[in-house]
Amino acid sequence: MSAREHARAIWQAALAAGDVSPLVRAHLHVEPGHARVVVLGCGKASGAMARAAEDVLGDRIGEGFVVVKDGYTAPLRRIRLAEAGHPVPDARGLAATARLLELAARAREDDLVLVLVSGGGSALTPAPAPPVTLEEKQHVTRLLLAAGATIGELNAVRKHLSRFKGGLLARAAWPATVVTLALSDVIGDPVDVIASGPTAPDPTTFATAREVLERRGVRDRAPASVRERLDAGIRGEIEETPKPGDRVFDRVRNLVIGNNALITDAAMATAQRLGYRTHFLGREVQGEAREVARELVARARQLEPPACLVAGGETTVTVKGGGRGGRCQEFALAAALSMRSGGPVTVLAAGTDGTDGPTDAAGAIVDGGSLERGRRAGVDPARALEDNDAHRFLRASGDLLVSGPTNTNLLDLYLLLRS
């Protein structure tokens, strides 16, 4: 097997370790006491999580509803499923969120509300609070994404423009018992950040949200209604999201049932079986994608082959050009440009959800021949990187990694094989 084939095999083993079905099954069992179970969910993996919940709970489920990204469906019997827009919210998400809030509000005190959340849940559950409209919230989302905002920054703003996020779903379900099972797609696994924490206390404030807009340089371009709402909240004219100690959380339990550790542990074990000396760089890789790529390639070159660097995390991209791609594809292209000289390094960067940016690719696998393959196809790699057009180059070079929906979402995986 070539280094590229090894990288792909490690990736596939990592994805298998992130299968949500055994994770959900391990945390659910049937007990007497609740009249019925209401299942609610949002996120790319919530359909697969709902299917596992049906297998365990069966007819104990009275009703349920989950919303997923387009293409991330699962065959369900008792729980309804809807698809909606991601990463930019759309009208389908608006309708789906209204349904989730309705079901939560209908829950009785002796009901158990089982909430299944995963990455992508924030974008899939728009419920803009007046006077903000869906279109204005879409605009703010695009501004922050283009400015390279982190998921924590993005969600702090989303929570304070929402009727659903930041613990507000828990408020709607009170006084029912709420148990949330979450797959973490964020560094450190904070439950208030995963899918914007619909059932978790919110440590951020209206002031936090305004500071994000200012820090990312988009406040003046944000719609007037957004600025007005945040300013009104800072003045105390709008009720804050529920904080730790609020009674709505007295009967709420939030559990993280899977995170990036599953992915990186499996990658390490598989690389070792394939004969590589493994070096673990942690699960908190973050920063500008192209800069992180250059740093990791430089580190890989210092290793005695055969060696494999393994890391997890989530980089960001500050969009300045008009091209297409995502953080993993930008990482891969920058890595390829860093491999113009030196020993052979093969790099895989991919999102475990199977999606990288607004493209059909999970990421890419690049090696020492990537630049020449792309140039022969008529695409200049340096210009593509400058224009944030990694997808076009990597498609031309034949380096895209396309997995389709994986029905899990546990951050990104980075592999650097020194052979």
Q: How far apart are CA 6 and CA 213, in angstroms?
A: 43
237 backbone dihedrals φ, ψ, rounded to 5°: -85, -15
Cβ count near 239 (within 10 Å): 8
401 backbone dihedrals φ, ψ, rounded to 5°: -110, 110
Mean pLDDT of 124-146: 93
For a pLDDT cut of 90, what percent of the chain falls above it?
Answer: 92
Residue 331 is predicted with a pLDDT of 98
Q: How far apart are CA 205 and CA 226, in angstroms?
A: 14
Residue type, 14: A
Q: HSE (CB half, 13 Å, CA atoms) of 32?
A: 0
The strand pair at 112-117 and 177-183 is best described as: parallel
pLDDT tens figures, 351-369: 999 999 999 999 999 999 9
- pTM comes to 0.92
In this predicted structure, the answer to whether residue 140 has a pLDDT above a threshold of 60 is yes
**pLDDT tier at 341 (50, 70, 90 boundaries)?**
low
In this predicted structure, the answer to whether residue 209 has a pLDDT above a threshold of 60 is yes
As beta bridge partners, residue 308 has 278, 417
pLDDT tens figures, 386-397: 999 999 999 999
Q: How far apart are CA 74 and CA 48, in angstroms?
A: 6
Cβ count near 279 (within 10 Å): 17
For a pLDDT cut of 70, what percent of the chain falls above it?
Answer: 99
The two counts, helices (H) then strands (E), for the chain are 16, 12
Q: How far apart are CA 253 and CA 249, in angstroms?
A: 8
Q: HSE (CB half, 13 Å, CA atoms) of 333?
A: 31
Give Rg (Cα) of the chain.
22
pLDDT tens figures, 120-134: 999 999 999 989 999
As beta bridge partners, residue 181 has 116, 255
In this predicted structure, the answer to whether residue 311 has a pLDDT above a threshold of 90 is yes
Q: Which domains does the chain have, with CATH numbers?
A: 20-258 (3.40.50.10180), 260-418 (3.40.1480.10)
Q: How far apart are CA 294 and CA 375, in angstroms?
A: 20
**pLDDT tier at 35 (50, 70, 90 boundaries)?**
confident
Residue 108: both structure tokens together: 């009785």
**pLDDT tier at 343 (50, 70, 90 boundaries)?**
low
In this predicted structure, the answer to whether residue 177 has a pLDDT above a threshold of 90 is yes
The strand pair at 307-313 and 412-418 is best described as: antiparallel
Ordered DSSP codes for 385-415:
HHTT-HHHHHHHHT-EE-----S----EEEE
Whether omega for the bond prior to residue 126 falls within 30 degrees of 0, making it cis, is no
Q: How far apart are CA 242 and CA 248, in angstroms?
A: 8
Residue 88 is predicted with a pLDDT of 82
In this predicted structure, the answer to whether residue 337 has a pLDDT above a threshold of 70 is yes
Mean pLDDT of 326-340: 95
- Cβ-proximal residues to 56 (8 Å cutoff; 6+ apart), any chain: 24, 25, 28, 29, 30
Mean pLDDT of 266-294: 97
286, 212 contact by CB (below 8 A): no
Extended beta strands in 73-155, E state: 80-84, 112-117
Torsion of CA 361, 152, 286, 138, to 10 degrees: 40
Residue 340 is predicted with a pLDDT of 74
pLDDT tens figures, 64-95: 999 999 999 999 999 999 999 998 889 999 99
In this predicted structure, the answer to whether residue 342 has a pLDDT above a threshold of 80 is no
DSSP reduced 3-state for 331: helix
Q: Which has the minimum average pLDDT: 25-34, 147-156, 210-219?
A: 25-34
Mean pLDDT of 282-289: 96
